[in-house]
Structure 1
């Protein structure tokens, strides 16, 4: 394995894979992240569009009711200011007849007595102080009822000096509006609901939550996000965690006439399901592409490295001493030039070896001649040695004879000395005799 990982084939294969796969992987990751953001933005846009369209529907519906009441008051201002019920009731009945969503119109006089278009009269004196302080139209929150959900629009009747002359009230059935909220569904987990300006649930697909404040069932994260953002901003998008830790993405819009919030929400996990599918597809594409690129790179590396492998095989034979093979040149590129140079190098090596062989042969012949001369020299040396031995022996004999001659000469010298001594003695004796 180690030998394979350090081979040129492995390195070339790795380089080809990196060069081909790195841009693909980087671009896929970038596009996947961009797709995630685009999908999230698209979902937010859909939620926001849904919430906005629903608020526009509610605003148009309310504006229609409001304009009808304001036009009726404008056209019959003096009648309403007079407080003449006999003249006011026909107007109210006519308004009721032209509005299918209206349950009843009523006029409350300066004494707090309310006269309905349906013939029902009600004592609302307990509301008189509130009505007198009202200077503009008001819309109530949804009044919950098992059979009927209604809102009350009240328009004050004021004289030229702003004096209170009564109140026109319209009791409207809003079941249609609330049901339209309940019909909204985005995917498997997406739905819409309606909050009042103070956070009371006015419409929800979970009936048990209607009439409750969101704080009664919301998680701490949801409470914080709703208080700090949803109930303060007119429009927007928030992400919050439910009590079961489910991450939710919610977009909201505001009904301008009432301050109600239309909320469209859904689980973040579902929103990103498509992104996860896209990621899985992208990863599969990367895997298949990697396999394809790997196979192509393997064949490419083999094709590109075949001349190198051929050169390697040849050089192994050269290393073992075989210089007879040569490379076949198929190209004029760098590999072709390298092969041509290697062939020239091997030719040079072969020529040098032939010359070296010739030199060795000549050296061997010269060595043979030297050996022959050496043998002759050895024989001559042996003969000379024999002669020298003979001479040496003769010299030894002469030396011995010389020693004997020297000894004889010594004896003769001693004899002569004795003769001389005797002669001297005789001479002395003779001289002494002569003298006497």
Structure 2
């Protein structure tokens, strides 16, 4: 658990410790600040120096690598220029030329010719389709030399780098190319010569992030993601791949901090990276820091010794003053300080002696005054005690008076409330009686109206009875007429039957008469038709008469029942009229009695209101008497409280005077010692 510095704790420490700390800080802070400043300054200077050295070294070696690769490209271009068989496409002659140049240049693995269709042939005549190779596509499309990343030779499995040089005709059209295949070990030899510090080294990375050379062979030919951790690969991508040149720091795979500088090779796009351990860069600075820390420790020890000596020398007079003040705190005012100097401490001692003299005089005066106060307070205490007893007696008497007045007031208020409630009840009875009387009168009118309506209904029922009886007689007559019509229709039917028979006989006779009876036959037929129509009409009339007779029978039955019902209704209405007459007489009697009750209630309500008003006056008088008694009681209680407070104050004053005498007695004064 870390201990935090607290100014409150520092303030509670001794002055000797504070003075020692201040002197120590005054001695150490300038040296510490100077050391920190120069450390930061030298750190920055050394970092800039190593970065500048790395940048210069990277730039120089980048130029060397660029020169080497460009030299091979220029050699290939010169071969193409000096040997026309490359433009003519003479493969046999091309193979001989490539073989001859490969044998004399140990830095070249071999040469290969590529026609415009992407078919490659080496000096041994081996054909290979390279149309999908990046170096062929870039060289053909850009019509400029192109340097590949690190590739693997399928024949021997070794790493190679291809410098593809295009062959152009007079119109600058691509007609083929020559690959100058280089051994990357030569580039490794170039980067192995890079030395920075004791263990610094350099290596090449392609523009696509493939490691071309490295002190650790197992990383050659791998991408950044394959050779490093994801975090370290991201650092290299964000710096080496994303920028043309610069300096950066990173944590290596072994956990050590390293400083790297890089430079882009102009025509190739490769990055030459130079790495040096950070501890080698700051080794001299670390030694300087250790020396500075040792010096600070030695100075700190000397400063502590000096601070203790100076603090003890300066604190001694202050301790004497502190001792005198402690003696004063215990009540002894007799000691005085010896003044041996005229500095601030001497002035403080002189002022303290003057203060002791003044305090001695003040305490002596306070003793005399406290004795006088004690005597006066005892007399005042006795007087106030007698006044308190008298005030208590007066207060008790007034309380009894107030109690009686309060009881009288409560009784008056209770009686007044009862009279008010009685007046309200009687008033409600009077109002209810008036309402009932009015309701009875209204009901009486309604009963008389109902009685008149029933009489009218009875008269109307009698008229209905007479009308129904008359209608029943008419229906019976109608039934008799319909029976007579039926008899007539029967006669008509019989006549039509006879007529039809006669027409048949006439037709028979006309047939016998022959030609002379044709006219008679026609008349017979017409008579026959008329007889049939009469018969049909008679049949229809018979059916109608039958239906009418049935309806008349039903009507007669209904009329008879209606007559019976009307007679019963008339009897009921007659009984109802008698009942309404009885009700009307009863309501008349009730109304008269209720009117008498209402008059008596109104008279009683007026008398009750007079009594209630009288009780209200009594309550007001009692309330006024109670209020005056209460005011007198309050004044007496206030007077009693004031006297008790005076008595308490005199007692406290007496105690304080006694305590003051006791406290003053603790002080030891020179004139009483």
Which bin holds the TM-score, normalised by the shorter protein? 0.5 to 0.7
Distance between the aligned counterparts of 1:19 and 1:309, measured in 2? 24
Q: Specify whether residues 279 and 239 from structure 1 end up closer, same or farther in structure 2 by C-alpha distance, changes over 3 A only.
A: same
Hey, what does 1:432 align to over in structure 2?
A: none
Match of 2:55 among 38, 48, 53: 48
Hey, what does 1:105 align to over in structure 2?
A: 111
Distance between the aligned counterparts of 2:80 and 2:120, measured in 1? 17
Match of 2:299 among 289, 294, 310: 289
The SS at the match of 1:277 is: helix
Match of 1:18 among 15, 21, 25: 25
Hey, what does 1:163 align to over in structure 2?
A: 173
Q: Specify whether residues 217 and 288 from structure 1 end up closer, same or farther in structure 2 by C-alpha distance, changes over 3 A only.
A: same
Distance between the aligned counterparts of 2:292 and 2:227, measured in 1? 40
Q: Structure 1, residues 194-234: CA drift from partner, whole Å, max 9, x if none?
A: 32222222222322222222212422321322233322212
Residue 20 of structure 1 and its aligned partner are, at CA, apart by 3.0
Match of 1:57 among 46, 59, 64: 64
Match of 1:195 among 174, 191, 205: 205
Matched, 1:82 2:92: no
Q: Specify whether residues 206 and 87 from structure 1 end up closer, same or farther in structure 2 by C-alpha distance, changes over 3 A only.
A: closer
Matched, 1:31 2:38: yes
The SS at the match of 2:212 is: strand
Q: Specify whether residues 287 and 338 from structure 1 end up closer, same or farther in structure 2 by C-alpha distance, changes over 3 A only.
A: closer
Hey, what does 1:69 align to over in structure 2?
A: 76
Check whether the contact 1:251–1:264 (CA below 8 A) recurs between aligned residues.
yes
Q: Structure 1, residues 76-95: CA drift from partner, whole Å, max 9, x if none?
A: 38564333467766765675
The SS at the match of 1:281 is: helix
Residue 48 of structure 1 and its aligned partner are, at CA, apart by 3.4
Distance between the aligned counterparts of 1:241 and 1:173, measured in 2? 31
Q: Structure 1, residues 157-210: CA drift from partner, whole Å, max 9, x if none?
A: 111222223212222233132134345455576443332222222222322222
Unaligned runs of 5+ residues in structure 1 are 313-320, 343-436
Matched, 1:172 2:172: no
Distance between the aligned counterparts of 1:338 and 1:46, measured in 2? 64
Distance between the aligned counterparts of 1:269 and 1:254, measured in 2? 26
Check whether the contact 1:194–1:203 (CA below 8 A) recurs between aligned residues.
yes
Check whether the contact 2:232–2:251 (CA below 8 A) recurs between aligned residues.
yes
Q: Specify whether residues 147 and 176 from structure 1 end up closer, same or farther in structure 2 by C-alpha distance, changes over 3 A only.
A: farther
Hey, what does 1:396 align to over in structure 2?
A: none
Distance between the aligned counterparts of 1:156 and 1:176, measured in 2? 24
Matched, 1:253 2:260: no
Hey, what does 2:574 align to over in structure 1?
A: none
Hey, what does 2:144 align to over in structure 1?
A: 136
Distance between the aligned counterparts of 1:187 and 1:59, measured in 2? 24
Distance between the aligned counterparts of 1:207 and 1:73, measured in 2? 35
Q: Specify whether residues 304 and 275 from structure 1 end up closer, same or farther in structure 2 by C-alpha distance, changes over 3 A only.
A: same
Distance between the aligned counterparts of 2:335 and 2:233, measured in 1? 88
Distance between the aligned counterparts of 1:86 and 1:205, measured in 2? 41
Distance between the aligned counterparts of 1:55 and 1:183, measured in 2? 12
CA RMSD of aligned residues (A): 4.9
Distance between the aligned counterparts of 2:205 and 2:168, measured in 1? 32
Aligned ranges 1:228-377 → 2 under 5 Å: 228-242=238-252, 246-268=256-278, 271-295=281-305
Check whether the contact 1:219–1:241 (CA below 8 A) recurs between aligned residues.
no
Count of matched residue pairs:
338
Distance between the aligned counterparts of 2:246 and 2:120, measured in 1? 41
Check whether the contact 2:113–2:120 (CA below 8 A) recurs between aligned residues.
yes
Residue 294 of structure 1 and its aligned partner are, at CA, apart by 4.4
The TM-score with structure 1 as length reference comes to: 0.58
Residue 135 of structure 1 and its aligned partner are, at CA, apart by 1.1
Distance between the aligned counterparts of 1:175 and 1:127, measured in 2? 24
Match of 1:215 among 215, 222, 225: 225
Unaligned runs of 5+ residues in structure 2 are 1-8, 323-333, 350-673
Distance between the aligned counterparts of 1:78 and 1:189, measured in 2? 51
**Going by fraction, where is strand more abundant, 1 or 2?**
1
Check whether the contact 1:112–1:124 (CA below 8 A) recurs between aligned residues.
no
Check whether the contact 2:150–2:221 (CA below 8 A) recurs between aligned residues.
no
Match of 1:126 among 123, 126, 129: 129
Q: Specify whether residues 141 and 122 from structure 1 end up closer, same or farther in structure 2 by C-alpha distance, changes over 3 A only.
A: farther
Check whether the contact 1:221–1:242 (CA below 8 A) recurs between aligned residues.
no
Distance between the aligned counterparts of 1:115 and 1:232, measured in 2? 37
